[in-house]
């Protein structure tokens, strides 16, 4: 594996976070609190690994150089990328706060914040895969 393999790894991490978030949501609705906690904390860890890998790829492998999409769906790509980027900036602190509230047993606030956090986090993890699919043919190979 080289640094040039990281975009596909990043997409897989985003996809995994999506599955874990949905699984955690289903678990809590079924009253399976331990499974919910495990799924959500694993989603948080997966997202943290994604962020680390993403930053490493863009700064260490690509030297800070952006990957530019020039295909026929440019406007759609830019709309998805903009919404993804803005909501990702919100999702990170929201996810940390939501997890902290749950772990500290402040469940009323945990539920209130989670109702906002979950859809944003899901959107960000799904659109992360979508952004990868737009760009996958543009990533350089070794």
> What's the confidence (pLDDT) of residue 138?
66
Q: Is the pLDDT of residue 2 over 90?
A: no
pLDDT value at residue 33: 97
pTM: 0.91
pLDDT digits (tens, 9 = 90+) for 54-100: 999 989 998 888 888 888 888 999 999 999 999 999 999 999 999 99
Mean pLDDT, range 35-64, rounded to an integer: 95
What is the pLDDT at residue 28? Answer: 97
Structure tokens at 134: 């737009």
Long-range CB pairs of 82-89, under 8 A, 24+ apart, other chains included: 83/123, 83/127, 84/123, 84/124, 84/127, 84/128, 84/130, 84/131, 87/120, 87/123, 87/124, 87/127, 88/124, 88/128
Average pLDDT for 110-138 = 94
Q: Quick one: pLDDT at residue 80?
A: 96
Tokens of 93: 């602190």
Check if the beta carbon of residue 25 is closer than 8 Å to that of residue 118: yes
Give pLDDT tens digits for 10-23.
999 999 999 999 99
Least Cα distance to 126 among 44, 37, 15 occurs for 15
pLDDT of residue 140: 53
């Amino acid at each position: 594996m080289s640094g040039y393999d990281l975009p596909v790894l990043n997409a897989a991490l985003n996809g995994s976070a999506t599955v874990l978030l949905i699984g955690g949501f289903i678990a809590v609705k079924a009253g399976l609190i331990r499974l919910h906690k495990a799924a959500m904390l694993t989603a948080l860890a997966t997202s943290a690994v994604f962020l680390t890998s993403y930053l490493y790829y863009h700064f260490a492998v690509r030297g800070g150089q952006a990957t530019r999409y020039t295909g026929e769906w440019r406007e759609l790509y830019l709309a998805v990328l903009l919404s993804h980027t803005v909501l990702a900036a919100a999702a990170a602190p929201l996810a940390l706060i939501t997890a902290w509230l749950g772990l500290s047993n402040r469940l009323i606030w945990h539920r209130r914040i989670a109702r906002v956090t979950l859809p944003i986090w899901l959107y960000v993890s799904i659109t992360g895969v979508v952004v990868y699919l737009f760009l996958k043919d543009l990533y350089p190979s070794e």
